[in-house]
Amino acid sequence: MNKLSDIQHEAFEIVNGDYGCGLLLLADHASNYIPPEYEKLGLQSEALERHIAYDIGVREFTIGLAKALNVPAVLSKFSRLLIDPNRGSIDPTLVMRLADGEIVAGNRDIDSAEKQNRLSRFYQPYDEAISMMIGQFEAIKIRPTLFAIHSFTPFWRGNKRDTEVGLLWHENKSFTADIMAALARSTDYIVDENKPYFGGLNGDTMDRHGLQKDLEHSLLELRQDLLSNSADIAEWVAVFAGILPEIMKNRQNKNRME
């Protein structure tokens, strides 16, 4: 297999691993990076450390889990404030002008030319990297299972969210159901399906690369206060590194292409 992790691109990074296990990790919102020429989109530096810019803890968790399992991963390298790769390309929230009450000055007057520039520079290369990785599995006659990793805020509109682990699905629940059952057996976390968000978002990453390609998939949401430091992240890596190998072992034959 080619050393895909050697590919350098401002929109994505790749972690290499064993494609034979059939699992591909995805992290749509792994970075809060905004190139200098965008001048932080007119925001204060503090705003870029918030959830509006990226999913806190996700990059470290995704890379840690990929290495623990020796599986490949694709991670974004740009802030969702530039353009959100977990939206359909015609979604009205693709470029946010207002994010959690914060006016994004650099997006407020965005025109079609600049929107197309961001699609070409960031969104499409990341999306194509996922397709390229799926192709690496298919080259060895394996249909990969996709596991998208996100994190969410502990509070929403002043109310504490009880959910600690959310698993999102739409139409295809099999992989999600297996993860939920394994977590119930091995942990005491509050695990909910389709919380804090509903899993059916037309045109999102799981729709484009999961449902539309008929690949098993699930989207993980971890509450950010449980990812607040390296020890917490390491604990979550251990949890999922403990349950995913058996889950994937049970679907090896089903995922093998004729």
For the beta carbon of residue 138, count every other beta carbon within 10 angstroms: 14
Which pair of tokens denotes residue 72?
Answer: 């490949």
Confidence of residue 157 (pLDDT cuts 50, 70, 90): confident
**Is residue 226 a contact partner of residue 161, using CB atoms and an 8 Å limit?**
no
Does the structure show a pLDDT above 90 at 219? Answer: yes
Does the structure show a pLDDT above 70 at 1? Answer: no
Please give the domain boundaries of the chain with CATH numbers for all domains: 4-255 (3.40.630.40)
**Averaged pLDDT, 199-203:** 88
Write the CA distances from 242 to 113, 237, 239, integer angstroms: 47, 8, 5
pLDDT tens digit sequence for 42-70: 999 999 999 999 999 999 999 999 999 99
- What was the pLDDT predicted at 156? 84
Residue 141 CA to residue 22 CA, distance in Å, equals 10
pLDDT tens digit sequence for 73-118: 999 999 999 999 999 999 999 999 999 888 999 999 999 999 999 9
Confidence of residue 136 (pLDDT cuts 50, 70, 90): very high
For residue 160, count CB atoms less than 10 angstroms from its CB and return exposed for 0-12, middle for 13-18, buried for 19 or more: exposed
- What was the pLDDT predicted at 5? 67
- What was the pLDDT predicted at 135? 97
